Structure 1
Amino acid sequence: MSDLMNGQMRKAMTLKTRRTLIAYSFLTIPLLFFLCVRIFPTLYAFSMSFSPQNGSGFTLENYIHLVGDKVFWRSVMNTLLYVIITVPIQMAIGIILALAIERIQRLRWFYRIVYFIPYITSIVAVSWVWRLMYDPNTGFMNEMLSWFHISPQGWLTDPSEALISVSIMMIWQAMGFCMLIFMAGLKAIPKQLYEAAQIDGASKWRMFWRITFPLLNPTIIFLAVTGVITALQTFTQIQNLTASSSGDAGGPLNSTSSMVIYMYNSAFNDFNMAYASAITVALFILILFVTLIQLKVLSKNFEY
């Protein structure tokens, strides 16, 4: 009897060991991919940021240059402006669209698709369509302004308007994603809370501020954190909207240049990889700092 039990135990242990080995073998490939594509390039860029442009060794000249670089600080300011302008507005439009579509009884799926399509469309294609719309001579934007007898605007050629023009396109593209996530958050709120509030005579505006908005806190945190990180890493929209014939982007006069654009120009136009790596490290620190502040400020306890 004991021999039979021991045999069954050994067989069970063998089966468990085999399953464990199979599980680890499946995890090995994505782990190696993550190490090769994420971890190693990150560490290599960090080490390269302490290297001189010509030669080898350890130096802080890239960071010293970074502190006194006016174009870098302009790109930092522009990056923060992208965050401040785009993230709150696209979230506000997203929640308005979500609340409006929730009240629609027919063709709700159609409106979801219409507002979500810009988010899943190629950023390059969308950027070039907007670039054509912003064209000062033949673009639709100035044509539309002429209907109201407003003079043409230099959407992407005027330094005072270029950043706003890029931000408008970013907001238009991301608001559908915010709408979809907010709709999922609204589905998670128990309907009994609204029924109890109606019995107590609460208005719709009061129900929104007292029930909907507080209980959407996890959704708001998710969209705020992901939206800020995306805005801090803005590249494709600026590159395709503002790239000149020479390949430089971020114009006019660096008015739309973000940290990623400046890093790209330093690396692939100026061929200064060490300095571009220093900009990358600065961007990483900024993203980490802003994300930690967001989680600290926005996170709060809630219960349904």
Structure 2
Amino acid sequence: MERLGTERQPAVFFKKRLGFRKQRYLFIYSCLLIPLLFFLCIRILPILYSFNISLREWDLLSEQKPFVGLQNFITLFHDPVFLQSIHNTLVYVAIGVPGQLLAGLIIALLLQRLNRSRGLFRTIYFIPYVTSVVAVSWVFRWILMKNGIINALLLHVGLEPQLFLGSPSQSIYWVIASIIWQSIGFQMLIFLTGLESIPSMYYDAAAIDGAGPWQRFRHVTVPLLNPVIVFSVIIASISFLQSFAQVLNMTSGGPLNSTLSMVLHIYNLAFKHFKMGEAAAATVVLFSMILLLSLLQLKVLNKKVDY
């Protein structure tokens, strides 16, 4: 009888432990299910529904939503304004992403060399990132007005005043400059975190081998920062592809649609012209661009480095 009792004790303990594991996993999965359902309802379902809208003649003023297939896409790609918005968006990405990453990396490298007041400078550079986009856009707009501060300084030194945001050839670059200025703090923080995670022994070994500052940066810092660079490039690219608030508040897409972004054009189609079908089709095009560009960047930039 004693042997039988001792044999049953491990079995009972194992059953209790198994029941406790089931309860724990049930609790974990139930906690994960709530945000998953929220994500599906707020993110996935609207995306799928936008695909449905893009295939219909969806006018907010009409009750009929007939299926038109790819007609909305054909109309978009025959629209010179939409093609101009694609061109402008690619300019935002091509100029803004390298400029933003380069500025953030330079400031991070300089801050890494500071021994005192590093936290103060980090806070100062990060403040614009958490400042209202609308406020920053209007400050830049006031500075770059015809009778703004910059033109006043140009006249003071004897130079000709510039149109800035009123020039079809200049305005897009000033919008890009405002976006870069506001996002420097985020990129600086990401790069500074990556720089501080690189072990100093690699730099010591490279210095012993006779590598100079540029060689250490090129062959040690950049390869070991590759995961950070990939993350920053993808985040910055998506941000510039979705440029909206700065464009709307600084130029409203003008002059002559020279700063019109795809997101602003989608906004105009949907809420000014009430063409929800074309707006949804433009959203699908933008979604495809973001997906393809992100996959391409992951393929090209993601390289494994072993030391």
TM surpasses 0.5: yes
Residue type at the aligned position of 2:227: P
Relative to the length of structure 2, the TM-score reads 0.93
Match of 2:134 in 1: 124
SS of the residue 2:105 aligns to: helix
Runs of 4+ in 1 over 3 A off after TM superposition: none
Match of 2:253 in 1: 250
1:216 aligns with 2:219: no
SS of the residue 2:165 aligns to: coil
Q: Go from structure 1 to structure 2 and tell me whether the alpha carbon gap of 1:13 and 1:103 turns closer, same or farther (over 3 Å shift).
A: same
> How far apart in 1 are the matches of 2:226 and 2:85?
31
Match of 2:205 in 1: 196
Deviation readout 1:188-210 (Å, 9 max, x if unpaired) = 22211211222222221121112
Match of 2:100 in 1: 90
Match of 2:144 in 1: 134
Relative to the length of structure 1, the TM-score reads 0.93
Match of 1:34 among 34, 39, 44: 39
Match of 2:27 in 1: 22
The alpha-carbon deviation at position 6 of structure 1 amounts to 3.1
Match of 2:179 in 1: 170
Identity of aligned residues (%): 47
Q: Go from structure 1 to structure 2 and tell me whether the alpha carbon gap of 1:66 and 1:7 turns closer, same or farther (over 3 Å shift).
A: same
The alpha-carbon deviation at position 13 of structure 1 amounts to 2.3
SS of the residue 2:55 aligns to: coil
The count of residues paired between Structure 1 and Structure 2 equals: 297
Whether contact under 8 Å (2:58, 2:66) holds in the other structure is no
Match of 2:10 among 5, 8, 18: 5
Kindly name which structure, 1 or 2, has the bigger radius of gyration based on alpha carbons: 2
Residue type at the aligned position of 1:194: Y
> What are the ranges of 5 or more consecutive residues in structure 1 without an aligned counterpart?
243-248
1:102 aligns with 2:102: no
> How far apart in 2 are the matches of 1:38 and 1:53?
21
- Counterparts of residues 254-273 of structure 1 (less than 5 Å): 254-273=257-276
> How far apart in 2 are the matches of 1:177 and 1:145?
32
Match of 2:154 among 145, 155, 173: 145
1:181 aligns with 2:181: no
Deviates more, 1:86-95 or 1:146-155: 146-155
Residue type at the aligned position of 1:211: V
> How far apart in 2 are the matches of 1:2 and 1:24?
34
The alpha-carbon deviation at position 18 of structure 1 amounts to 1.6
Deviation readout 1:176-197 (Å, 9 max, x if unpaired) = 2111111111112221121122
> How far apart in 2 are the matches of 1:90 and 1:233?
15
1:79 aligns with 2:89: yes
Match of 1:156 among 153, 158, 165: 165
Deviation readout 1:111-134 (Å, 9 max, x if unpaired) = 111111111111122112112112
> What are the ranges of 5 or more consecutive residues in structure 2 without an aligned counterpart?
1-5
> How far apart in 1 are the matches of 2:202 and 2:25?
46
SS of the residue 1:58 aligns to: coil
